[in-house]
Amino acid sequence: MATTSIPLFHFYGVCERTHGGFLAEPLNVLSSLGFFIVGFAILRYYRNHPDIKGKWIWDIHALTFLIFWIGAGSTLFHSFPNKMTEMMDIIPIVIFINIFFLSIIIRIGQTNLFQTIVCFLAFGGASHFFVTQFPNAMNDSIGYLSSMAALVMVAIYLHMKRRPSAQQFLLAALIGVVSLFFRSIDNVVCGHMAVGTHFMWHSCNAILLYILMRQVIRNVNREARMARLQRMYLS
């Protein structure tokens, strides 16, 4: 008697999920918890800086909160995939990317209002161009390509300024490229690797966010230290 094989079906383009049940993506859920670890590590890191301890620095607090939201949204989406949890997964990522680049444009680039607007619009325009001109490319990951390119540009700028954080931003960009690679090939490797590679996207991104947040906090601490030295000099 002939047997009929049942083909695998993948929800929302994720290789690991082959049915609609709860916890059908154990590795994707487990790797999503890495964002919570990063969130708590960042909280501890900036609270230990005497120059910024106890101060309300809006972008640091907002970005840290968004890391927790990213972890929660990713965990929910990969546990209960539907349109609502998908939006809960996407929205904090988009907000984080925009606030982060706005923060480093102002803090690291030391730009004025006009320069800030031009740089931010250029970043947004590049993201829009990639998404509209190459829809669904790289397993729907094309929208993140501009972010990785922006990190490389930041690293080059800091290298030109002889700032030691240039190496950290370059490292972050390389990790970002690797994470993007894993997200892009997730469905391609399904026939050879049942769990896919989406969980590596989560793992690499958690490391990426930790590196980036440390550099933003380090720059804020540097600004506070320079301001304190300036006050001491003028007093």
Q: Residue 1: its pLDDT value, please?
A: 42
One DSSP character per residue, 141-162 reads TGGGHHHHHHHHHHHHHHHHTT
Over residues 26-35, mean pLDDT: 96
Length in residues, the chain: 235
**What is the rounded CA–CA span in Å between residue 71 and residue 32?**
5
Q: How confident is the model at residue 2 (pLDDT cuts 50, 70, 90)?
A: very low
- In order of 8, 43, 220, 229, the CA distances from 225 in angstroms are 57, 20, 9, 6
Q: How confident is the model at residue 107 (pLDDT cuts 50, 70, 90)?
A: confident
pTM: 0.86
% of the chain beyond a pLDDT of 70: 86
Q: Does 223 score more than 70 pLDDT?
A: no
Q: How confident is the model at residue 136 (pLDDT cuts 50, 70, 90)?
A: confident
Scanning 108-197, the segments in alpha helix (DSSP H) are 113-133, 137-140, 145-160, 165-184
pLDDT tens column, 162-200: 888 899 999 999 999 999 999 999 988 988 888 999 999
**What is the rounded CA–CA span in Å between residue 136 and residue 143?**
9
Q: Does 42 score more than 90 pLDDT?
A: yes
Q: How confident is the model at residue 21 (pLDDT cuts 50, 70, 90)?
A: confident
Which of 14-18, 19-23, 129-133, 194-198 comes out lowest in average pLDDT? 19-23
Kindly report the average pLDDT of the chain as a whole number: 85
Q: Does 9 score more than 80 pLDDT?
A: no
Q: Residue 173: its pLDDT value, please?
A: 93
Q: Residue 5: its pLDDT value, please?
A: 38
